[in-house]
Amino acid sequence: MTQAGGIEIVRTVADLRARVGSWRAAGLSVGLVPTMGALHDGHLSLVRQSVGETKRTCATLFINPKQFNPNEDLAAYPRDEAGDVAKLKSAGADLLFAPEVAEMYPPGAATQISVPGIGDILEGEYRAGFFTGVATIVAKLLLQALPDAAFFGEKDYQQLQVIKRMTADLDIPVRICGAPTIREADGLAMSSRNAYLSAQERAIAPTLYAAIRSLAEAVRGGADPASQAAFAAEKLLSAGFSKVDYVTVRNAETLEPVAANDEPARVLAAATLGRARLIDNIAV
């Protein structure tokens, strides 16, 4: 274990279990905040939520190769462990688990967790294997740390629903907590991938939030979800997005297409701007 100015860093499952086990033996509740690093205020809001709700907070930093497909550039994913450690410390985290790939996937590791249905639609259609990679690594992290609660951002709304489904299906005794999306002043949802945007693209990017907000308002007012979603997609293309994978209104829990305007619904969207594929969502 190493100590970096107040926050302890562990890199093995054995050390993680030893530290979390000592907290639990002392009767302290534990919160887990899984991340892939390149931390921004969205991640730090999850750390602060965990600090507020539990006695000890462990963040994890692992760029999970199994959730990148061959078309996505794993090597280019932003990395800044020293900066992340400083931010975690300032947000009040007690421990960082930052394992190497071989610790998480030792030679011979074969088991995968897939979540058919909710994991196959929307992001699952456009990012083959993504949710299997996410469900597998999150299940491993939950079972390695066995926290009382784990915190995930609503920015990745489908991911949150997949993780809730997986945790319930596997009877993993951890409370899964969602936290509201943190946005820049102009509405753009914070994301590590925003770093890929040029200055010109960055100026266009808030159109995504504006489009889904107007769509949610229109549907709330009784407008037809499908035609309003098509209108929102056109707005994105005319603003400068090169491709719209989906803009859609779904049941807020199952993410199946909405049957009627009266169920809890969520607008979800994914679109490409320059090198960045941006996703966002909002409650109707």
In angstroms, the CA 138 to CA 131 distance is 10
16 binds ligand PAF (CB under 6 A): no
Report the C-alpha dihedral over residues 62, 98, 46, 115, rounded to 10 degrees.
40
Pairing of the two strands 56-61 and 95-97: parallel
Residue among 49, 64, 248, 281 that touches ligand PAF (CB under 6 A): 64
The 3-state DSSP class for residue 35 equals: strand
Residues from 193 through 252 that contact ligand PAF (CB under 6 A): none
Residues from 145 through 174 that contact ligand PAF (CB under 6 A): 156, 159
Helix axes 157-169, 130-145, angle to 10 degrees: 60
50 binds ligand PAF (CB under 6 A): no
36 binds ligand PAF (CB under 6 A): yes
Pairing of the two strands 149-153 and 175-179: parallel
Catalytic annotation present for 43: yes
> At its nearest, how many Å lie between ligand PAF and the CB of residue 99?
12
> At its nearest, how many Å lie between ligand PAF and the CB of residue 159?
6
Residue among 34, 42, 124, 147 that touches ligand PAF (CB under 6 A): 34
In angstroms, the CA 277 to CA 262 distance is 31
From the candidates 43, 48, 250, 277, which is the catalytic residue? Answer: 43
Which residue's CB is nearer to ligand PAF, number 155 or number 235?
155
- Residues in the interface with ligand PAF (CB under 6 A) total 10
Contacts for 74 with CB less than 8 Å, ≥ 6 apart: 63, 65, 68
137 binds ligand PAF (CB under 6 A): yes
Q: Which residues form the interface with ligand PAF (CB under 6 A)?
A: 34-36, 64, 67, 134, 137-138, 156, 159
